[in-house]
Amino acid sequence: MAKINQEKMKRAFSSRQFKMGMFQTILTVIVIAVIVILNMLVSKMNIMVDLSSDKKYSLTEESIMLVKELKDKVSLFYMYEEGSDVSDNNDIVKKVLDQYDSVGSNIALSSKDPQKLPQFATQYTDGKVKSEDVRSKDVIVVNETTKKVKHISAQDMVLEEQDPYSGAVIPKTLDVEGQVTAAIQSVTSEDSKTLYATTGHSEAALSASLSDILTKSNMIIESTRTDAKEGIPKDCDILMINAPMYDFSEFDMPNIQAYFENGGKALIFLYPKMEESAFPNLCKILNQYGLKLNPGYVFETTDHYLGRSPLEVNGMMNSHEITAEVTADKDIPFPLTKGMTMLNETRSTLTVEPLVSSSEESFSKMPVDNSDLEKKEGDVSGPFTLGAAVTDEYKDKKAQLIVFGTANVAADSNIMDGRYGNRSIVLNSVAWLNGRENSMLAIPQRSLENPTVDVPSDSRGMISFLLIGLLPAAILGFGFFIWYRRRKS
């Protein structure tokens, strides 16, 4: 009996089925071992493949070029508390920082424990970085040549919001590259510039995206009243007039005119509802610098507006250094905008250059109601200037103005959307006013939210039927067919 069992076992171990099973088992073990080893190697080598559609975890070409061209030695100190739990998003911060370290020879990344080295930040002390302000997951950027320092908090690199349904605080926006690249520019560039936004005329608040551009362009944002006895602040590099709802007064005008006569720079966004009769002083400033305001809003024809309304004007680019980076495939939304006309008769010291214009078919009017969208007799025919760059050089003074027909050109939706050229135009306008040949990089934030697809209500029933009913039934039917065929054979 034992001999028979031995024979059976021998035949079983030498059978083709056993050999095939053994081969598959060994192959499976080898594949698992290779995967484990590769995973360990990849972890050790810190290799990361960015599979996100918008490459939110990878450095842009602009940041890579900035780091490669650094002349000063720059140190990035990642304040990492040893033994602390690292969430996925904080780990992403480190992985983005590692990319800076790998692309440039003049930049170095190192980790510092703020608990073990509580006074670490004070060795760079100039009052800007204090040890009590530095926390775990923060970054300190240091120019080792000039000793200029920039502190970046973790909350500015991974922005969190409270979920309205669960109440949990979840990460919404990633801004590691934007903050670090801006900090590198700040510590390696000239001193910061100061922008003063006018107040006292119900000016529009700066959009979050516009504030982000200005801050990352190494600018300090302040506010000022233009009717103050002492005039515009002496350290004002750019005066911003952001869509005032009310006109400047006779007390404002002398200060503003004196500012321009002394070579002042201004970034002006017009209030879409402003009319010359209610804004004689602001219109006077525009006239003095070669621009005339047209009544009403700019309307476009079908081929030249975005969305569903002819008021959502898609601007047409003009050749200028400010618009040079905007490619032809980019739209330039100017929703609800005023139109301007460049005056023919101006003083010889004045140069007015259009940046963005409307089409030949555009027209300007003040609509009676929402249905009054067609051109009628008496409406002003285009094209209109929607954005202009003005230079006035007299003796040793050089005044410069950028004027846009609407503040909506710098709205969050138009600045953040990669399909539009608004971000480049606004960013380069700031650089032009600051006298820089190249604009400061202002890398946009990246959303961490997963995109969703909205299915039309009339299609949901059909899709549910296909996925829940027809597809499972087809799989079961195919399985039954295979089973029945094998049973027959």
Over the stretch 309-324, which tens digit does the pLDDT of each residue have?
888 999 899 999 888 8
Tell me the per-residue pLDDT of 68-85, one tens digit each, with 9 for 90 and over: 988 889 999 888 776 655
More confident residue, 241 or 170: 241
Domain closes at, from 138, 155, 179:
179
**Ramachandran assignment for 111, one of left (phi > 0), alpha (psi -120 to 50 degrees), beta (any other):** beta
Q: Which domain holds residue 174?
A: 61-179
What is the distance between the alpha carbons of residues 392 and 351, in angstroms, rounded to a whole number? 6
> Would 4 be classed as within a structural domain?
no
Q: What percent of the chain has pLDDT over 70?
A: 84
Same domain, 265 and 410: yes
pLDDT score for 50? 64
Task: For residue 471, tell me if it sits in a domain.
Answer: no
pLDDT score for 454: 61
The mean pLDDT value for 231-259 works out to 94
| Higher local confidence (pLDDT), 235 or 114 | 235
For residues 263 and 220, membership in a common domain is answered with yes
- Do the domain assignments include residue 474? no
| Same-domain pairing of 172 and 196 | no
- Do 235 and 142 have their domain in common? no
In this structure, are residues 405 and 413 in contact, taking their beta carbons and an 8 Å threshold?
A: no
Given a cut of 60, whether residue 87 has pLDDT beyond it is no
**Least confident window among 106-110, 164-168, 215-219, 229-233:** 164-168
Whether the Cβ atoms of residue 443 and residue 99 lie closer than 8 Å to each other? no
Please indicate, yes or no, if residue 368 is contained in any of the structural domains.
yes
Q: Could you tell me if 209 and 416 are in contact, meaning their C-beta atoms sit under 8 angstroms apart?
A: yes
**Is residue 351's pLDDT more than 90?**
yes
What is the average per-residue pLDDT within 198-213? Answer: 90
236, 281: one domain: yes
Beta bridge partners of 174: 158, 446
Q: Cite the beta strand spans of 26-145 per DSSP E.
A: 74-79, 107-112, 139-143
Residues 6+ apart with CB under 8 A from 387: 315, 334, 354, 355, 356, 402, 403, 404, 405, 409, 425
pTM metric for this prediction:
0.69
* Same domain flag for 171 and 291: no
pLDDT in tens, 121-137: 667 655 555 556 677 78
The CATH number that applies at residue 76 is 3.40.30.10
Residue 69: phi and psi, rounded to 5, are -95, 5
For the purposes of burial, counting CB atoms within 10 Å of the CB of 154, is it exposed (0-12), middle (13-18) or buried (19 or more)?
A: middle
pLDDT for 257 beyond 50: yes
Is 472 within the bounds of a domain? no
**Of residues 469 and 456, which shows the higher confidence score?**
469
Q: What is the dihedral of CA 70, 73, 78, 83, to 10 degrees?
A: 130
Bigger pLDDT: 166 vs 354? 354
Same domain for 217 and 175:
no
Kindly report whether the peptide bond that precedes residue 310 is cis, defined as omega within 30 degrees of 0: no
Q: What is the pLDDT, as a whole number, of residue 88?
A: 45
Answer yes or no: do 325 and 428 share one domain. yes
| Residue 278 in domain | yes
Residues 216 and 102 both lie in one domain = no
Q: What is the pLDDT of residue 250?
A: 93
* Residue 66, C-beta contacts closer than 8 angstroms, at least 6 positions apart: 181, 184, 185, 441
pLDDT at residue 246 in the model:
95
Do 300 and 417 have their domain in common? yes
Cα–Cα distance, 436 to 442 (Å, whole number): 14
- State whether 35 and 98 are in the same domain: no
Among 154, 179, 204, residue at a domain's last position: 179
CATH of the domain at 358: 3.40.50.880
Note the pLDDT tens digit of each residue in 361-408: 999 988 756 677 788 888 889 899 999 999 999 888 999 999 999 999
Q: Does any domain span residue 369?
A: yes
Q: What is the rounded radius of gyration, in angstroms, for the C-alpha atoms of the chain?
A: 31
Q: Indicate the number of domains in the chain.
A: 3
Answer for the pair 400, 322: CB distance below 8 angstroms, yes or no.
no
Q: Which of 121, 113, 177 is closest to 151 using CA atoms? A: 121
User: Residue 324: inside a domain, yes or no?
Assistant: yes
As a whole number of angstroms, the distance between CA 383 and CA 392 comes to 24
Same domain, 197 and 91: no
